[in-house]
Structure formats: C-alpha cells, structure tokens
C-alpha cells in the first residue's frame, strides 16, 4: 500500500481549495497514477467551508477512501470539521499562524502557508500553490507534473499573465524547498514513479457530454441548475462544432418541450437537470411516452426534498423517476455507476430512447457529476449507432391484427392511404415517419389515439394502445444486456446497489472476501425495466441481501421488496455524503 495516499484539503470556498485539489489530482493522473476524487462545497459562490479529497494509487481505485491519510487544513474551521476523518497515524499539515491542533494520534507538519504566500511570494492568492509545493515536497507527485497542469490551466484562463505564472511557480518552489529543509518526514506516504498509462481524467458530467456527442445527440435544451449545469455548458460549447443546435430555455418545462419538438423533427435530443427541474418536467415525460417520441433526460440527483441541499449527494429521485407523470406511463430508467459508465450508459440511453420511442430518465447524482476518475482511454470508443425504425412506405409486418403489407401513398390528396404511425406491432414499436423526408404526415398527440394517430376514446382502443406501449418495455427487457454478478459464486451474503455506489460496494466486497467471507454484489444500471431474471437468480443464490442506498426511505429496497418479495437488510445514508467502503464492509460483517 505504499504507492497509495488519500489527501484531503479543507478550506474556505473561494480561496483555491478546490482548484488546488483539482491540480493535484490531474497532475497525479498525468504522472501515471489512478485517481478518484470527492469534494463538497457550499451552494454560495464565495465563502463557506469546502473540502477536496483525492485518492491516488498505482492500482485502480473504486471508492473515495475510508479516511484521509493526509489532511491539509487551510484554516481552523477546516481542522474542526475534518480532523475526525483523519486516519490514526495519518498526517496533519497546517499553518501554525491559523491555529494550534490538539494532541492526537497523528503526525503534524507545520507549514507557514500564509507567510510564504504573503511575504516571500508577495501574492496571497498563491496560498494554494504554496500548499501544492509542500505536498510535492513531502508526498509526491513531482513538481514538474504540477507545473505542467498549472501552465495549461493558466494558458486557458482570462486572468493569465506572465507575472501570475511567475508568482505561482515561485510559490511552488519556495514551499517545496521549505518542507525539504524544515520538515523531518516521519510518515509512510510517498508516491514513487509509476509507468505512464493510456488514461484520461474527467468527471461524470464531462463523460456524459462526451457520450451524448458520440451518440449523435444534436440538440440540447436546458435551464441552469446545480449540479447539472456543466452538462448544459458543455453541450452549448460543443454542439455547434458538430452541426448541432442548443437552446438555453426559459424553464425546465420549455427545455423538455423543445427537446420533444426536436425529437419530432428526427434529431437526437436531450436535456439535463436536477430534482427541482425534473419535477417541473413530469407532464412532458407523459407526453414523450404517450406520443412515443424519444428523449433523454438526465437528472443529476441532489439532496431533496424541495430545494434541499443543492451541492450535496443523494440517491432519492428513484421512486419519482420510476413513477413520474400521471397515468400509466412506460419509460426507461437508468443510473450510471461510475465515470466510465456515464459515457457508455448515456450512449445506451440514446439507443434505447430511439429504438423504443420513449423517454429515458438517466439518474446521475451530485457526487458523480463532480467525481474525477482516471479511466482507460479505450473505454471511449466510437459507438455503433442505430437509427429509429423509420417508416419505409410499407406497413410494418404485423401478425397480430392482420395488416397487409401494402405500399403507402405519400402525401396529400383524395384517396391517400393512411399511414399508421402507431401501428400495433408484436414488439410494440411502430415505424416512425420524419417530416421533410417525403414520408407521410401524421399528428403526434398526447390524447389517446388509434393506430393512425387520430383521437380515440373507445375502451377497446385504449386497452390495445396501453398494451402496445407497455409491450415496448417487455421488448426492451428481452433485448437489454444483463448485469454481471461480482464476487463469489458461492456467496452467502449479497449486496445489491444502484447508481454511483458501485465501486464502493465492490471495494467492500473485495475487503470482506479478503477476510474470508463469502460475498457477491449485483449492480443493475437499467432500473426500468428491471432485469428480473438476473436479480431473482442473484437473490435466490444468497442467504441475505444488503441494499445500500443514499436515501432515507430505501427506495430501491422498496422496489425489490414489491417486485420480488425481498426482505432486504437496508443500509441507508442520507447526510449528503457518499458511502465509504468501510461502512458497507461493516454492514456485511454485521449481517454475517
């Protein structure tokens, strides 16, 4: 474990705590290490406590780490808030002019961050560079790796100038010299050189943007909301580069409405929001489902209810996503499990939205939006794209109600045959026609309608069309990939999770197995329709099932109970902070 360290930086928002941490993570990753970050920040732009933690390791890391090995406190409040998360025997680095730490089971390194920044560099804003210089000197990575990142960041900044760069470099250098001269290293954390690997470093929101572009999403509309706004900003910047268009809507209702307009026009379209905005979209989710228009809707979940805690993590929109909208409304619900999966799954979201002509709700969460991970570059490969099933001038072949395969006459005029936009097919999928392509016209509608799309309230029609729409979910369930079991084949304890907790659960499973316990986990990424067979098989293969989730009511455990009669051991955490592997490991040991 020598080539691994978890560093936590605590400070005040606006003083470079987060940006300093970002630089450290990026430099370590570029140097060749795996990284996994976790951060908290206040909703305010300036002021308020914030924290950045990065786990740096020479082997792949799946969770944020149980404790900090190294805690750097930029003020007294950071110390008070974070010292409880410092590992026994860990390192506390602080500035003695800020406070004097109480005696504890940790090593202390006193570094005058403030004085170096003020007096030697003569620019107080370089305090985070002073901190980074001290980190380089004591734990690695090498100064050159940091300098490279700082240079590339500054070159893209509007504030950039030669003096600022010079001062930053001076701060790094002076601090590194200071610690090597004044501090006697007595801790075990030192990152050595590693082999450089072909990896990229990015967060969940960035991976979603990359995936949406690769999936040929060419229209985005959204309304700013924490923590989903950077998806919108990313799409605003990138879409024009690839022939797409973007709209910042006046509200989330307009955002999804315009996405459905674009989708009607045959263009792959998406919006991204968080809980409050998602609530506003519900009527249009019903329209998307009823009019059978593809749409991808990202909900970067945050702690609710109501405005809740905009910058804190929670997995509490699952029940809502599964049921949002009045009436019986088929939809697909997905939840990405990590940064790499954000890319792969959003591509699948578009593919499924287009194939099954329904809304796909994509449940990311705050921790994943901002979590930076190093990911093997080969994950980001060009996807295979399948278009919608287009109406091709003939009826869809149909065994159920005796339609003839008869060519359609296109366009207006007396005697034109009617195109059956909502043809009742065995799969439930009806070939769609796109305006401007010479295909016959139809009316998309939220009213109940017959196969031709004309309003129809007959009992037989509503019954048939309900069945047709829901049949698409059965088709999707049969066609979708099954989740893979992780861990022991002969496990007695099972863990079933969803969303961003996958890595943490798997790390807990690994650690339990290392202690001789028989444990396995299952982590479905498609939550509607659920992979029934895989879940039932998993449940029946173990004696007890733990369902960890970051919400109060156990929304996934409720679902598994309702669907499969599972009496799960519930593990709920709802303070706004993700699980650590230690917490899940403890639950496994208690159940055992």
Partner 1 sequence: MTQTLINPTPKDYKSEVKPTWCPGCGDFGVLNAAFRGLAEMKLPTDQTVVVSGIGCSSRFPHFMKTFGFHSVHGRALPVAQGLKMARPDLNVITVGGDGDFFSIGAGHLIHAALRNIDITVVVMDNEIYGLTKGQTSPTSPHGHVTKSTPYGLLASQFNPIATALSLNVSFVARGYSAKPKDLAALIQQGVQHKGFSFIHALSPCPTFYHTFDAWDAAVTPIDSGHDTQDKAQAIALALETEKQYTGIFYKEERPTMDQAAHQLVQESKSFDIAQYMQRYA
Q: Which of 260, 298, 542, 546 binds partner 1 (CB under 8 A)?
A: 260
Q: Does 89 bind partner 1 (CB under 8 A)?
A: no
Q: Which of 255, 318, 349, 591 binds partner 1 (CB under 8 A)?
A: 255
564: exposed, middle or buried (Cβ count in 10 Å: 0-12, 13-18, 19+) = middle
44: exposed, middle or buried (Cβ count in 10 Å: 0-12, 13-18, 19+) = exposed
Determine the 3-state secondary structure of 207 from DSSP.
helix
Q: Which of 38, 139, 219, 320 binds partner 1 (CB under 8 A)?
A: 219
For residue 235, the minimal CB distance to partner 1 (Å) is 12
Which residue(s) pair with 53 in the sheet? Answer: 8, 38
CB 408 within 8 A of CB 394: yes
For residue 174, the minimal CB distance to partner 1 (Å) is 30
Q: Which of 208, 249, 318, 568 binds partner 1 (CB under 8 A)?
A: 249
Task: For tokens 């303070």, name the residue.
Answer: 575
How far from 387 is each of 29, 354, 440, CA to CA, in Å?
Answer: 37, 7, 18
Q: Which stretch binds partner 1 (CB under 8 A): 123-131, 132-140, 209-217, 581-589?
A: 209-217
For residue 146, the minimal CB distance to partner 1 (Å) is 17
Backbone φ and ψ for 259, nearest 5 degrees, come out as -60, -40
Peptide bond preceding 227 in cis form (omega within 30 of 0): yes
Q: Does 250 bind partner 1 (CB under 8 A)?
A: yes
Q: Does 500 bind partner 1 (CB under 8 A)?
A: no
Task: For tokens 């901002």, name the residue.
Answer: 370
Q: Determine how many CB atoms are found less than 10 A away from the CB of residue 237.
A: 11
Q: Does 224 bind partner 1 (CB under 8 A)?
A: no
Q: Does 324 bind partner 1 (CB under 8 A)?
A: no
Q: Which of 161, 242, 406, 407 binds partner 1 (CB under 8 A)?
A: 242
For residue 260, the minimal CB distance to partner 1 (Å) is 6
For residue 427, the minimal CB distance to partner 1 (Å) is 24
| Sheet containing 68-73: order of strands | 106-110, 86-94, 68-73, 4-12, 49-57, 34-40, 372-376, 199-203
Q: Does 283 bind partner 1 (CB under 8 A)?
A: yes
For residue 322, the minimal CB distance to partner 1 (Å) is 21
Dihedral angle computed from the Cα positions of residues 441, 447, 448 and 452, in that order, rounded to the nearest 10 degrees: -10
Nearer to partner 1, 264 or 574 (CB): 264
Q: Which of 68, 138, 270, 284 binds partner 1 (CB under 8 A)?
A: 284
Task: For tokens 């954390």, name the residue.
Answer: 189
Q: Which stretch binds partner 1 (CB under 8 A): 31-39, 246-254, 328-336, 544-552?
A: 246-254
Q: Determine how many CB atoms are found less than 10 A away from the CB of residue 580.
A: 20
User: ∠ at Cα 500 (78, 237), nearest 5°?
Assistant: 85
Determine the 3-state secondary structure of 488 from DSSP.
coil
In the region spanning residues 427 to 486, those forming contacts with partner 1, defined by CB under 8 A, are 435-447, 454-455
Number of C-alpha atoms within 13 angstroms, CB side, residue 4?
17
For residue 254, the minimal CB distance to partner 1 (Å) is 4
Q: Does 262 bind partner 1 (CB under 8 A)?
A: yes
**184: DSSP letter:** -
Q: Which stretch binds partner 1 (CB under 8 A): 36-44, 196-204, 350-358, 474-482?
A: 196-204
E strand map for 317-378: 332-334, 359-365, 372-376
In the region spanning residues 375 to 414, those forming contacts with partner 1, defined by CB under 8 A, are 377, 380-382, 410-414
Question: What distance in Å separates the CA atoms of residue 121 and residue 10, rounded to the nearest whole number?
Answer: 22
Q: Does 200 bind partner 1 (CB under 8 A)?
A: yes
Q: Which stretch binds partner 1 (CB under 8 A): 53-61, 84-92, 255-263, 296-304?
A: 255-263
For residue 28, the minimal CB distance to partner 1 (Å) is 14
Question: What distance in Å separates the CA atoms of residue 195 and residue 30, rounded to the nearest whole number?
Answer: 10
Q: Does 246 bind partner 1 (CB under 8 A)?
A: yes
In the region spanning residues 293 to 322, those forming contacts with partner 1, defined by CB under 8 A, are none
Contact residues for 247 (Cβ-Cβ < 8 A; gap 6+):
219, 220, 221, 255, 258
String marking each residue 154-193 x if it binds partner 1 according to CB under 8 A = ----------------------------------------
Nearer to partner 1, 49 or 440 (CB): 440
Nearer to partner 1, 42 or 393 (CB): 393
Helix axes 229-238, 204-214, angle to 10 degrees: 40
Question: What distance in Å separates the CA atoms of residue 484 and residue 487, rounded to the nearest whole number?
Answer: 10
Q: Which stretch binds partner 1 (CB under 8 A): 36-44, 88-96, 241-249, 519-527?
A: 241-249
The DSSP line for 100-149 is: -PPP-SEEEEE--HHHIIIIISS-GGGHHHHHHHHHHHHH---HHHHHHH
Q: Determine how many CB atoms are found less than 10 A away from the CB of residue 384.
A: 7
Q: Which stretch binds partner 1 (CB under 8 A): 121-129, 216-224, 356-364, 462-470?
A: 216-224
For residue 258, the minimal CB distance to partner 1 (Å) is 3
Q: Which of 54, 174, 179, 202 binds partner 1 (CB under 8 A)?
A: 202
Nearer to partner 1, 152 or 567 (CB): 152
Q: Which stretch binds partner 1 (CB under 8 A): 45-53, 358-366, 374-382, 519-527?
A: 374-382
Classify 357 in phi/psi space as left (phi over 0), alpha (psi -120 to 50) or beta.
left
For residue 338, the minimal CB distance to partner 1 (Å) is 15
Q: Which residues bind partner 1 (CB under 8 A)?
A: 199-202, 206, 210, 213-214, 216, 218-219, 221, 239-247, 249-251, 253-255, 257-262, 264-267, 269, 283-284, 286-287, 291, 377, 380-382, 410-414, 418, 435-447, 454-455
């Amino acid at each position: 474990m020598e080539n691994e360290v978890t560093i936590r930086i605590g400070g005040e928002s606006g003083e470079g705590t987060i940006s300093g941490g970002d630089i450290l993570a990026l430099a370590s990753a570029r140097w060749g290490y795996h990284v996994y970050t976790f951060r908290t920040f206040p909703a305010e732009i300036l002021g308020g406590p914030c924290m950045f933690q990065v786990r740096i390791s020479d082997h792949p890391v799946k969770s944020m780490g149980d404790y900090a090995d190294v805690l750097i406190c930029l003020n007294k409040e950071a110390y008070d808030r974070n010292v409880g998360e410092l590992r026994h025997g860990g390192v506390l680095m602080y500035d003695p002019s800020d406070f004097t730490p109480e005696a504890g089971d940790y090593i202390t390194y006193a570094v005058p961050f403030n004085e170096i920044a003020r007096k030697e560099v003569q620019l107080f804003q370089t305090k985070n560079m002073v901190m980074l210089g001290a980190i380089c000197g004591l734990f690695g990575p090498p100064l050159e790796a940091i300098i490279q990142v700082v240079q590339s960041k500054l070159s893209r900044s509007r504030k950039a100038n030669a003096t600022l760069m010079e001062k930053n470099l001076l701060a790094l250098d002076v601090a590194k010299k200071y610690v090597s001269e004044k501090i006697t290293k007595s801790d075990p954390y030192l990152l050595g050189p590693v082999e450089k690997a072909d990896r990229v470093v990015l967060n969940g929101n960035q991976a979603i943007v990359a995936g949406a572009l690769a999936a040929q999403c060419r229209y985005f509309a959204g309304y700013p909301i924490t923590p989903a706004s950077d998806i919108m900003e990313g799409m605003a910047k990138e879409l024009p580069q690839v022939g797409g268009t973007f709209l910042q809507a006046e509200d989330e209702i307009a955002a999804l409405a315009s996405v459905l307009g674009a989708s009607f026009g045959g263009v792959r379209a998406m919006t991204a929001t968080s809980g409050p905005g998602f609530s506003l979209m519900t009527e249009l989710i019903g329209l998307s489902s009823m009019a059978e228009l593809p749409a991808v809707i990202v909900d970067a979940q945050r702690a609710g209810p109501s405005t809740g805690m905009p910058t804190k993590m929670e997995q509490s929109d699952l029940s809502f996503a599964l049921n949002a909208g009045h009436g019986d409304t088929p939809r697909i619900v997905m939840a990405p499990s990590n940064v790499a999966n954000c890319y792969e799954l959003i591509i699948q979201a578009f593919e499924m939205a287009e194939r099954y002509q329904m809304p796909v709700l994509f449940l990311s969460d705050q921790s994943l939006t901002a979590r930076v991970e190093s990911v093997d570059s080969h994950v980001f490969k060009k996807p295979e794209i399948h278009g919608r099933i287009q109406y091709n001038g003939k009826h869809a072949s149909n065994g159920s109600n005796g339609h003839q395969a008869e060519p359609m006459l296109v366009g207006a005029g007396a005697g034109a045959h009617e195109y059956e936009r909502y043809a009742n097919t065995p799969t439930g999928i009806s070939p769609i026609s796109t305006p401007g392509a010479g295909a016959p016209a139809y009316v998309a509608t939220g009213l109940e309608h017959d196969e031709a799309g004309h309003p129809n309230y007959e009992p037989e029609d509503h019954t048939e069309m309900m069945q047709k729409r829901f049949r698409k979910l059965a088709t999707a369930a049969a066609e979708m990939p099954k989740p893979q079991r992780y861990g022991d084949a002969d496990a007695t304890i099972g863990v079933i999770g969803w969303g961003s907790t996958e890595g943490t659960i798997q790390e807990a499973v690994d650690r339990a197995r290392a202690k001789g316990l028989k444990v396995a986990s299952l982590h479905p990424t498609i939550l509607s329709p659920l992979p029934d067979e895989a879940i039932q098989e998993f449940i029946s293969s173990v004696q007890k099932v733990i369902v960890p989730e970051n919400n109060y009511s156990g929304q996934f455990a409720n679902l598994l109970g309702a669907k499969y009669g599972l009496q799960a051991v519930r593990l709920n955490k709802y303070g706004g902070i993700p699980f650590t592997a230690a917490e899940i490991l403890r639950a496994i040991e208690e159940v055992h």
